[in-house]
């Protein structure tokens, strides 16, 4: 019974998420109502409020879930080379660029950096090498903040400019900036 309810909750969340994304293609995000989302998903408002507090929660949970998928992709790569991790990062978001462009177009409020910071240490533990073992976990948090902040800034700039560069081009640009004195 508990497993069945969990599966129903998961299916309902997916239906509500898909409904919101469909509505966002035709309506202004700030004007979309919970009632519209529920009607589009063919679910009750009671179901919505059992699963979410606001429509922003749908987007935040979607991005958190996507970050979990990203972590799985990074883990599957078995690489501790920053440029390879960056390529995986850009490749993942490139596959979801329509969503990122829709979120940007609709000016949806969410804190991408916060979500990334939460996952940074998990990614570090997946990919750390013997070379990084000399850095304390406390100091590694600063290194990760720099690495994650740089990737996120590049990603947001990429979205702002219409998501035109390929993951390979973004990674080459990152490599260039890390290897070339710019100032």
What integer best gives the mean pLDDT of the chain? 86
Say whether both 73 and 6 belong to one domain: no
* Cβ 41 vs Cβ 68: under 8 Å: no
Asked whether residue 4 carries a pLDDT value surpassing 50, the answer given is no
What pLDDT was estimated at residue 105?
Answer: 92
Give the tens place of pLDDT for each residue, 26-55. 999 999 999 999 999 999 999 999 999 999
Same domain, 38 and 93: no
Task: Report pTM.
Answer: 0.84
- Positive or negative: CA dihedral 101, 147, 129, 136: negative
- Biggest CA–CA distance in the chain, Å, is 62
Asked if residue 107 and residue 44 are part of one domain, the reply reads no
Question: What range does the domain containing 43 cover?
Answer: 1-52
């Amino acid at each position: 019974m508990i497993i069945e309810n969990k599966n129903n909750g998961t299916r309902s969340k997916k239906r509500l998420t898909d409904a919101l994304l469909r509505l966002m293609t035709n309506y202004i995000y700030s004007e979309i109502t919970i009632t519209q989302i529920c009607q589009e998903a063919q679910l009750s408002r009671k179901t919505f409020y059992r699963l979410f507090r606001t429509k922003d929660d749908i987007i935040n949970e979607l991005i958190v879930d996507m970050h979990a998928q990203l972590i799985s992709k990074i883990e599957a790569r078995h690489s501790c080379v920053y440029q390879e991790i960056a390529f995986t990062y850009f490749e993942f978001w490139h596959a979801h660029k329509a969503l990122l462009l829709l979120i940007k177009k609709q000016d949806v409020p969410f804190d991408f950096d916060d979500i990334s910071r939460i996952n940074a240490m998990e990614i570090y533990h997946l990919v750390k090498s013997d070379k990084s073992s000399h850095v304390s976990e406390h100091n590694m948090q600063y290194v990760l903040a720099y690495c994650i902040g740089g990737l996120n800034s590049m990603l947001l700039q990429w979205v702002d400019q219409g998501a035109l560069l390929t993951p390979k081009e973004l990674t080459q640009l990152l490599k260039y900036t890390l290897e070339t004195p710019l100032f």
